Amino acid sequence: MDIRSKIRLFVDSPLGEGQSILLARDQANYLFNVMRLNIGDFISVFNGKDGEWQAEVLQANKRKGIIIVKNQSMPQLLPPDVWLLFAPIKKTRTDFIVEKATEMGVSRICPVFTDYTNSDRIKQSRLQAHSIEAAEQCGGTYVPPVDELSTLTSVLKSWPKERHLLFCDEHKVGENVKSMKATKSDKWAILIGPEGGFSDSEVMHLKSLEFVTSISLGPRILRADTAAVAALAIWQMQMGDWK
Amino acid sequence: MDIRSKIRLFVDSPLGEGQSILLARDQANYLFNVMRLNIGDFISVFNGKDGEWQAEVLQANKRKGIIIVKNQSMPQLLPPDVWLLFAPIKKTRTDFIVEKATEMGVSRICPVFTDYTNSDRIKQSRLQAHSIEAAEQCGGTYVPPVDELSTLTSVLKSWPKERHLLFCDEHKVGENVKSMKATKSDKWAILIGPEGGFSDSEVMHLKSLEFVTSISLGPRILRADTAAVAALAIWQMQMGDWK
């Protein structure tokens, strides 16, 4: 069978031919109640590491169900090794950033607390669930892990020096792509500030670090969620898997 | 005075030194009730064509107010001549596309009805209001006009041939930036499909047109709102005002 079901489900189980999987209650509800699938129907499943597989419904009721894995329909596709560091903003827009980062293809999502960050907590499990949903939706086979919130200071203190950090600076003009392309690195991260931008001392500190390059995202001031997508698009096109 | 007030208001009046402006009721409510401004305070105003000006509050009450325009704080900045054509999707995400297009800097926003478009109407005035709000927020001085909904077929039929159309094709791989840069044109448009993509006959028709170039936005399938920002970021960085 080389038909891929458009219904895609993330499952937290190993995937291989003949493997049977007991569905979680919310998954069973979605498949059999919302989508009205029946025994014998196929869905696509992925677990973030074994690619995408087609699986057949073996048992179906509204609260539970069993599927059996048949054949692989897509190999595992890892995104390029780029992290997104962002300062949490309002709830909906934070959810959007996680969704967009997953669609755009990042390897890790790191919420950081900066001088002008308003929101001092996140719910990691909720953001991780958003990332899973976005992966189901966008046809990807990888789910970026979402870290717990850390301060930017502590993240920079323990930074792995071989990873290059692109910092989106509202005041910078020009020379973007050139300075990005001139940097020889295969590990990257992109840092997006909160709505109020970065403090002067944060900007000074960032600019003093050897592993940091600053780029501009044009003459208008972008919201944090717009900036995340824009910066990732430019990076993917120049350095990542859109080349 | 070279201090710019962070409170920015779009006004539908000519702007010049000494000009007095009667505020609309919702503007007065916002300034004097929500933001608690008083007589003698300054705000930034723009009308989409005369740049940004500082204006002083002359009369203030919750239902009306008068401001007087003092000095220009920013010249008019026009975005590059790029239109965004998109198929309306769910309400919130359509609002987002208009907001993002304004922040990213487009000259015109054109909702188009395609074969797989679900939503068969838009409220032009609501979308235009979103675009104004985004311009107030992003520090821009230009508000892209939002067209009424047209069918893609009719838009393509009366297309101005000197304007180049970038079509974001989910199935295309590689050669993006090269083919974009090879196109000599200073008038552009970017076309984003609805969640279900374009129909086969739409793709065939688009590919047969001389003024169309297709580009890929990577191996994952992007939601329409993500695709709009991503395509505009790449275009702005290569051809627009982010260079």
CA torsion B9→B12→B104→A222, rounded to 10°?
0
The pLDDT assigned to A100 comes to 97
Clarify whether residues A20 and A50 are in a common domain: yes
Contacts of B239 by beta carbon, 8 Å cutoff, 6+ apart: B80, B82, B180, B181, B188
Clarify whether residues B98 and B48 are in a common domain: no
pLDDT band at B1 (very low <50, low <70, confident <90, very high): very low
* Mean pLDDT of the residues in chain A: 92
Calpha distance B21→A175 (Å, rounded): 41
pLDDT over threshold 90, residue B98: yes
Instruction: Please answer yes or no on whether A218 and B104 come within 8 Å at the CB atom.
Output: yes
The pLDDT assigned to A172 comes to 65
The total domain count for chain A is: 2
pLDDT over threshold 60, residue B166: yes
Give per-residue pLDDT as tens, B127-159: 999 999 999 999 999 999 999 999 999 999 999
pLDDT over threshold 90, residue A234: yes
Whether residue B39 lies inside any domain: the answer is yes
Clarify whether residues A68 and A184 are in a common domain: no
Clarify whether residues A94 and A69 are in a common domain: no
pLDDT over threshold 60, residue A152: yes
> CATH number for the domain including A65?
2.40.240.20
Least confident of A3-7, A214-218, B156-160, B204-208: A3-7
The pLDDT assigned to B53 comes to 97
Whether residue B30 lies inside any domain: the answer is yes
Whether residue B3 lies inside any domain: the answer is no
DSSP code of residue A23: P
Whether residue B188 lies inside any domain: the answer is yes
> Among B74, B105, B128, where does a domain finish?
B74
DSSP A207-230: HH-TTEEEE---SSPPPHHHHHHH
Clarify whether residues A66 and A107 are in a common domain: no
Phi, psi for residue B66 in degrees, rounded to 5: -130, 135
Q: What is the mean pLDDT of residues A188-213?
A: 93
The pLDDT assigned to B2 comes to 54
**Pair type for strands A164-168 and A188-192:** parallel
Give per-residue pLDDT as tens, A63-93: 899 999 999 999 999 999 999 999 998 888 9
Give per-residue pLDDT as tens, A156-168: 999 999 999 999 8
Give per-residue pLDDT as tens, A6-26: 899 999 999 999 999 999 999
> Among B53, B74, B95, where does a domain finish?
B74
Whether residue B88 lies inside any domain: the answer is yes
Please say whether the beta carbons of A26 and A132 come within 8 A.
no
DSSP B13-52: S---TT-EEEPPHHHHIIIIIIS---TT-EEEEE-SSS-E
Clarify whether residues B67 and B107 are in a common domain: no
Clarify whether residues A152 and A33 are in a common domain: no
Q: Look up the domain containing A105 and give its range.
A: 82-239
The pLDDT assigned to B107 comes to 98
Clarify whether residues B198 and B135 are in a common domain: yes
Q: Which helix (H) or strand (E) holds A52?
A: strand A52-60
Whether residue B50 lies inside any domain: the answer is yes
Calpha distance B178→B205 (Å, rounded): 23
Clarify whether residues B108 and B145 are in a common domain: yes
pLDDT band at B173 (very low <50, low <70, confident <90, very high): low
Q: Which helix (H) or strand (E) holds B214?
A: strand B212-215
The pLDDT assigned to A151 comes to 96
Q: Which residue of B has its CA nearest to A77?
A: B219
Question: Which of B174, B219, B229 is facing A233, going by the closest CB pair?
Answer: B229
Instruction: Please answer yes or no on whether B138 and A103 come within 8 Å at the CB atom.
Output: no
> Among B18, B48, B74, where does a domain finish?
B74
Clarify whether residues A134 and A230 are in a common domain: yes
Clarify whether residues A95 and A155 are in a common domain: yes
Question: Which of A220, A234, A240 is facing B105, going by the closest CB pair?
Answer: A220
Whether residue B2 lies inside any domain: the answer is no
Whether residue B117 lies inside any domain: the answer is yes
Burial A73-90 (b: 16+ CB within 10 A, else e): beeebebbebbbbbbbbe
Q: Which helix (H) or strand (E) holds B53?
A: strand B52-60
Which chain B residues have a beta carbon less than 8 Å from that of A222? 103-104, 138
* Mean pLDDT of the residues in chain B: 92
The pLDDT assigned to B22 comes to 96
> CATH number for the domain including B160?
3.40.1280.10
Instruction: Please answer yes or no on whether B177 and A237 come within 8 Å at the CB atom.
Output: yes
Question: Which of B100, B104, B217 is facing A242, going by the closest CB pair?
Answer: B217
More confident residue, A61 or A188: A188
3-state secondary structure string across B126-137: HHHHHHHHHHHH
Q: Mind telling me how many Å the CA of A137 is from chain B's nearest CA? A: 8
Calpha distance B63→A32 (Å, rounded): 54
Which chain A residues have a beta carbon less than 8 Å from that of B97? none
Clarify whether residues A87 and A150 are in a common domain: yes
pLDDT over threshold 80, residue B179: no
Q: Which ipTM value was assigned to this complex?
A: 0.92
